[in-house]
Amino acid sequence: MDLELLVYALDLVSTFAFALVGARVAANKGLDYGGILLIAAIASISGGTLRNIFMGQRPPWIQHPWLFFPIIAAVIITIAIGKKQEVGRFALSLDTLGLGVATVSSAQFAITHDAPFLAALVLAIVGSVTGGLFRDILCQVQPVLLHRETVGTSALAGGLVYLLLTQLEVDEAATAIIAGLTVVLVREISIKLNWNLPKVVSR
């Protein structure tokens, strides 16, 4: 399997997923069409942009302008729906899918560019959580990454699984699927059981 081709395909899927959730959050905050487009773009491509810059590469949307198409599609869908609604279970599941795909995509990108193990793990996390963090900050909502649903932990688990299986020379497709499912399972379980990382408490 061509790893670079798989990275591009995964980037396309995660771009749409993150853009749709970002556009929905922006619409709920009452932003105009331009604001919705901006948040959708930032939510979906900022993680890959940072990932590539850290590796001395051009951002993916410069190399592959077609990544803007899923962003535009997500904005059109959001505007067509029109009315405000909470980011429900479907959108949350879509965000989880994007998180899993982006984690695998970023880990694969790091591996294909000869990043060492720890650096590749960091890039897997950066590439998957940055967009959601920027989205929440710009929309003035408490970032999900910093207080609930173990978003970062899910990305860490998936990235670690991917890199370990790669070192064991497991089939590339199987490695990507197992790592992606790890991200999805960890986050879904954390949502269902209301798991969070420990927090500082008053004494």
Q: Specify the number of domains making up the chain.
A: 1
Give the model's pLDDT for residue 56: 92
| Confidence tier at 88 by pLDDT (50, 70, 90) | low
In a domain, 203, yes or no: no
Check residues 95 and 161 and name the one with the higher pLDDT: 161
Quick one: what percent of the chain has pLDDT higher than 90?
50
| Confidence tier at 192 by pLDDT (50, 70, 90) | confident
* Predicted TM-score (pTM) of this structure: 0.85
In a domain, 201, yes or no: no
In a domain, 39, yes or no: yes
What's the rounded Cα separation, in Å, for the pair 180 and 186? 10
In a domain, 198, yes or no: no
pLDDT tens-digit readout, 1-33: 565 676 677 777 788 889 998 998 899 888 999
Give the model's pLDDT for residue 201: 72
Give the list of residues 6+ apart from residue 16 with CB closer than 8 angstroms, or none. 44, 70, 71, 73, 74, 98
Give the model's pLDDT for residue 17: 85
In a domain, 153, yes or no: yes
In a domain, 141, yes or no: yes
In a domain, 143, yes or no: yes
In a domain, 100, yes or no: yes
Give the list of residues 6+ apart from residue 179 with CB closer than 8 angstroms, or none. 100, 103, 104, 107, 158, 159, 161, 162, 165
Query: Mean pLDDT over all residues of the chain?
Result: 86
What's the rounded Cα separation, in Å, for the pair 174 and 122? 22
- Domain residues for the domain of 146 are 3-192
Q: Is residue 84 scored above 70 in pLDDT?
A: no
pLDDT tens-digit readout, 136-174: 999 988 877 766 668 889 999 999 999 999 999 898 889
